[in-house]
Amino acid sequence: MKNLAAELGPTTVSWWQDWRGECVAIIGAGPSAKSADVDMLRDRIHVIAINESYRLAPFAEIVYSADLAWWREHKGLEEYNGLKLTHDRIACQHYRGLHHVEIENVSGDEIKFERPNSVGAGGNSGFQAMNLAVQFGATGILLIGIDCNLEHGEHWHGRHPYMMNNPAPSNVKRWLGAWENAAGPLAKLGIEMINCSPISALKKYPKMTVPEALARWQL
């Protein structure tokens, strides 16, 4: 399996990142994210913050949220100076500085490699951001706050406001399937994914603390 997106890069997307051979941390909103050592990531690894987790890592290079309601609640996150990404076209039209990530099939949960800036849905923003990081060429990925269960609550920051969706067990089941099914294709590409959530339901990625993972990659 060839990662053509990482090799070629898109020719029409001005914001595309070249992370070939580098490492990235995806900071999700699971309860475990609040106690993770995310400050250790600063200036050592690329960081993508999902939704509210930009508050844990204001130094993140990218904030990704698939949800229009989240961008509305945060007024397009005008104070943030990094790259802002979403697959919601309405959000891109209404808020300055948002860039569109394409999802051909919002019901599809397979990771996508062939076409730059076209990712699998996976039912969650973290999966979409991970897929994009792989297309950027990242070869090491840390998962922080990707808990994929509701045993410790919905998010590290509590429930979303009433106008935004909060996860149900059916959502979590979909997330778990998408993340686990990505393990095989990622391994074929030589991409190492490390799970830094001690309470995560994911089984197919080795678990380490953030310090252990950074040491493994000599970062």
Q: Can you give the pLDDT at residue 215?
A: 97
Domain enclosing residue 165, as ranges: 4-216
Which residues pair with residue 143 across a beta bridge?
Answer: 26, 195
CATH of the domain at 85: 3.90.1480.10
Write phi, then psi, for 180 (nearest 5 degrees).
Answer: -70, -40
- Judge residue 7's burial from the number of C-beta atoms within 10 Å of its C-beta, 0-12 exposed, 13-18 middle, 19 or more buried: exposed
Encode pLDDT of 6-27 as tens digits. 665 666 689 999 999 999 999 9
Encode pLDDT of 116-156 as tens digits. 999 999 989 999 999 999 999 999 999 999 988 877 777 76
Q: Does the pLDDT value for residue 2 go beyond 80?
A: no
Q: Can you give the pLDDT at residue 158?
A: 64
Distances from the Cα of 27 to the Cαs of 20, 133, 189, in angstroms? 20, 13, 22
Encode pLDDT of 179-191 as tens digits. 999 999 999 999 9
Mean pLDDT of the chain: 90
Q: To the nearest whole percent, how much of the chain has pLDDT over 90? A: 77
Lowest model confidence (mean pLDDT) among 10-19, 64-73, 147-156, 199-208: 147-156
**Pairwise CA distance, residues 155 & 91, whole Å:** 23
Number of domains in the chain: 1
**Pairwise CA distance, residues 119 & 103, whole Å:** 5
